[in-house]
Amino acid sequence: MKPMSFTFSEPDTMLPDWKRQRRDRILASVIDILARQPAEQLSMDELAHGVGAGKATLYRYFGSREALLTACLEKIVAELSARIAQIEETPQPPLVRFHGIVDCMARSFSQNFLPLRMLMRSKKELHESWRHSVHEARLSLVSTLQRNFERGCTCGAYRTVDSELLAHLVMGMIRSGVTHVPNRDLHVLVQAVTDHAAYGFILPNAKNTGDTQGVLSSEVSSAAHVKGANVKS
C-alpha cells in the first residue's frame, strides 16, 4: 500500500521576514498559553492579553480565533513531523528508527499535552472549522508509523502486518500513556510501547540482530527470539 501523505496550510510566504517572525513568536506564545489552559476556556481577548499584543493584531495575522488555534496545531505537528523526518532519513535499522519515532511523539505529546488534546478528541466535539486540520494532523502522524512498518516488511526486518491498523494502535498506546500516566518517566513509556508493539511484528532473524540490541528490553528481545524459533519449527 502506498503510504498516505498530507500537507498543512503554510504561513503567508508573501509576508516580510519581520512579520513572519512576529507571526511565529505569536504562535509560540499561544502554544505556551495552551500548555497551561484548555483552548475552549480562552477567548481572543485572553489570548491577546497573554501574548502581549492587541486583539486586532491577532485578527490581522490569523483572521479568526479558530484560524489561530488551527495554526498552533499545525505548527506543533509540522515541527514534530520535521524531527521525525530526520529520524526516517537515518541509515539506522527500521526498529531503531521506530523507537526514535515513538520517543519523538511521546515527548511532543507530553510537552504539548493540552494543545494536542484536540488530536485525541472525537470530531463531533470539535468546531466545524477545526475538523479538517485535526483529521489531517492525526493521519499525518499515523502515516509516519505506517511507512516505518511497510519499510520494515520490505527489507525483511518485520513480518507482514496491517500497517495502517498497527499505526493507529501504536498512536493510541502513545496517547493513552501520556494522558493516563502523565507522571511516568517518558523513557519508561517509550520502552513499553516499543516492547509491546515490536513483540508483535519483529522477525527474530539475522537482519534484526542489530536492531534489538539496546532498543528492546532483554526480556522482550529474548521472548521474540523464542517466538521466532517456535514459528520456524
Each residue of 17-39: pLDDT tens digit?
A: 888 889 999 999 998 888 887 77
- Given a cut of 80, whether residue 196 has pLDDT beyond it is yes
Domain limits for position 73: 66-232
User: Could you tell me if residue 6 is inside a domain?
Assistant: no
- Given a cut of 50, whether residue 232 has pLDDT beyond it is no
- Among 75-84, 146-155, 198-207, top mean pLDDT goes to 146-155
User: Could you tell me if residue 53 is inside a domain?
Assistant: no
User: Could you tell me if residue 219 is inside a domain?
Assistant: yes
User: Could you tell me if residue 27 is inside a domain?
Assistant: no
Domain count, the chain: 1
Residue 140: pLDDT band (50, 70, 90) is confident
Biggest CA pair distance of the chain: 71
User: Could you tell me if residue 26 is inside a domain?
Assistant: no
**Facing residues of 202 across strands?**
158
User: Could you tell me if residue 221 is inside a domain?
Assistant: yes
In the chain, which residue ranges form alpha helices assigned H by DSSP?
17-34, 44-51, 55-62, 65-88, 94-111, 117-120, 128-154, 163-180, 186-201, 209-212, 218-232
- Across all residues in the chain, what is the average pLDDT? 78
User: Could you tell me if residue 158 is inside a domain?
Assistant: yes
The domain that holds 223 is classified in CATH as 1.10.357.10
Compute the distance between CA of residue 64 and CA of residue 62 in angstroms, rounded to an integer. Answer: 6
Residue 12: pLDDT band (50, 70, 90) is low
